[in-house]
Amino acid sequence: DRQIFLTRHGQSTDNVTGRIGGDADLSPSGRKYAEALSKFIKEQRVQFALDLVHEQHEREEIWKSKGLEPLEKTDGSRTPEELMKAKAESICNSQFIVWTSMLKRAMSTAAYFDPDEYDIKHIRFLNEINASICEGMTYEEISNVYPDEYNLRKQNKLFYRYPGIGGESYMDVIHRTQSMIIELERMSQSCLIITHRVVMRILLGYLTDMSQKEMPHMDVPMHTVFEVRPKPYGNEILKWRYIE
């Protein structure tokens, strides 16, 4: 049993002016989101641990009513409530992973998380799509300066690769995030991923079995936490929106 959360970084100063790519830091509003996010995750961790312990307690009660005592015996020095609290605390203190991209706006979003409580890692594979010659431009500027490129991307967002050194397409980002998806499915710890619009679309698209064609058009608003809840029929996605 574990928790999986995904979010875009807090609003950056480039988001405010509508510029794509770049390596800007958080805006004042982005910083507020980052702070609220760290509190939210902490609360969710505590609640999750309490729910697990209560579920276990309820199961034990059912077995007891059928005449079966759990093998694990207590020393009797602590009340059942104290024991439940201790168990919840130990679940809560178990390792929780925070992955971010290596871009400032994502790393700054994670800066509100206590490194003693979270295993924080910055990973290049989680960086935003590289728009190369279009980095730092607004969509309007791109449509004026490179009208052909703008239209080509509009026609086929999935395969369109930004021209210039390092330029990427959605397909390129799908390939570079594959190892992250494998690791995410393999690991057993709870985690929070702080990344960017394109990577979010790909990760969420994969987790919800969305077709590659649909992924580039998914709505992934800012200041929203997506929680992945595994269900027998597939993953359920819960959204938590931050209202300033």
**Among this protein's residues, is 128 annotated catalytic?**
yes
202 interacts with ligand F6P by CB under 6 A: no
198 interacts with ligand F6P by CB under 6 A: yes
- Report how many residues bind ligand F6P under the rule CB under 6 A: 9
Alpha helices per DSSP H over the chain: 13-17, 28-65, 80-92, 104-110, 139-145, 147-155, 170-186, 197-207
**Among this protein's residues, is 223 annotated catalytic?**
no
9 interacts with ligand F6P by CB under 6 A: no
129 interacts with ligand F6P by CB under 6 A: yes
Handedness of CA 171, 172, 175, 181 (dihedral sign): negative
**Among this protein's residues, is 15 annotated catalytic?**
yes
> Which CB, 129 or 194, lies closer to ligand F6P?
129
> Which CB, 49 or 129, lies closer to ligand F6P?
129
Instruction: Report the distance separating Cα 28 and Cα 126, nearest Å.
Output: 23
Catalytic residue among 9, 19, 153, 201: 9
197 interacts with ligand F6P by CB under 6 A: yes
Contact in structure between 227 and 241 (CB atoms under 8 Å) = no
**Among this protein's residues, is 175 annotated catalytic?**
no
Catalytic residue among 105, 153, 201, 223: 105
173 interacts with ligand F6P by CB under 6 A: no
Distance of CA 64 to the CA centre of its chain: 40
Contact in structure between 6 and 184 (CB atoms under 8 Å) = no
For residue 94, the SS3 value is: coil
Instruction: Report the distance separating Cα 15 and Cα 151, nearest Å.
Output: 22
Query: Among the candidate windows 26-34, 47-55, 119-127, 192-200, which touches ligand F6P by CB under 6 A?
Result: 192-200
**Among this protein's residues, is 183 annotated catalytic?**
no
Length of the chain: 244
Residues forming contacts to ligand F6P in the complex (CB under 6 A) are 20-21, 128-129, 131, 196-198, 216
